[in-house]
Amino acid sequence: MRIKVTFNRTGRQRMLPMDYQYYISAWIYKVIRSADEDFAEFLHNKGYGEENKAYKLFCFDRLEFGKPKLWKEKKLFEIRQDALELKISFDVKEAASHFIKGLFMDQEFFLGNRFNGIDLKVVQVAVLPEPDYQETMRYKLRTPWVVSLKTEQDRHPQYLSPSDERFIALAEKHISEKAKTIHGITDAAIELNILSDSKRAGFRIKPDTPQESRVVGNLFEFELKAPIAVHQMIYGAGISEKSAVGFGWVEEK
C-alpha cells in the first residue's frame, strides 16, 4: 500500500541537506516504533528491527519541494515553498491502510542534521490506489536501483550499471530472495528486461558519521515478468537493495 503525506513547514529554516534521504528513513522508523505491539512485532519478524535484517517492509519516493535554490558547495537545498509532499509505501495488506494512515497524521519533526534542516508537520495523509497488477508490467524508476557486488578482494562494494553483464542476474536473484524471505514465494520465475538508457545517481547514507558511505544506483525504465505477488511486493517494499533508505521506488509506466 502507498500513502501520500503532505507537510507544512512550521519554522523559519529553509536549508535542507541534499542527502536528506537518511533522515526521512530515520523518521519513518520512529513513526513505526510508535505502533501498537502486534504491528511492531509483525514488522520485526518480517524484516524490521534492531537486528538490521536484510529486507525491510517500506520504501519512499523523492521528497517533492518545488524548485529549490541549489548551494552545491555546501550540499544544501534552499526550500522556497511551504508545502512539501512525500510518497511512502509499505508491503502490508490493504487492511492495515487505515492504521498506517493514522500513524502519520499530525506528526511533527525536524528533517535534517544538527546544522541544517527544516521543521515539518503532517497536515494530510492520503491512501493511493493500487495498479492493476499483471504478470508482465512496465516500470520507471523514480529513485535509483542499487545492484552491488563485493568480493573478498573488494574493500568497498561495486555498484553495477545495467550495462554490466552481471547486473540483470544479480537483480533477478535479489528479487527472488526478497520474495522468498518476506513472503515464502519459492521458485518464482522472474525475468527483467531493461527498456531505456540508464542514468547513474546516488547519495550518502549515514551522513556525518563514521559509517558514512555513498551508495550509487541507476535510473531507467524496465519490464518485469514475475508472479503478481512479486509485483505487489516491489510496489510496497521497493525493488532495490537499501530500499528503506530511499532507493528503488518504482512507478507503473
- CATH code where residue 38 lies: 3.30.70.1890
Please tell me whether residues 182 and 234 are part of one structural domain. Answer: yes
Residue showing cell 534552499: 78
Distance in angstroms (rounded) separating the CA atoms of residues 47 and 56:
5
Of 68, 97, 128, at which residue does a domain stop? 128
Residue 4: the pLDDT is 97
User: What is the extent of the structural domain holding 74?
Assistant: 2-128
Low-confidence ranges of the chain (pLDDT < 50): 48-54
Q: Do residues 25 and 49 both lie within one domain?
A: yes
Q: Last residue of a domain, which of 128, 156, 187?
A: 128
Closest CA relative to residue 190, chosen from 154, 123, 253, 137: 137
Residues 121 and 8 in one domain: yes
**pLDDT at 215 (0 to 100):** 96
Is 35 found in the same domain as 10? yes
| Number of domains, the chain | 2
Return the pLDDT at 42: 58
Q: DSSP letters of 40-72? A: HHHHHHHT-STT--S--SEEE-PPB--SPEEEG
User: Does residue 8 sit in the same domain as residue 44?
Assistant: yes
Same domain for 114 and 42, yes or no, is yes
Task: Provide the grid cell at 53.
Answer: 535484517
Residues in CB range of 120: below 8 A, 6 or more apart = 7, 8, 9, 10, 84, 108, 109, 110, 111
Give the span between the Cα atoms of 126 and 58, in whole angstroms: 16
Q: Are 2 and 236 in contact (CB under 8 A)?
A: yes
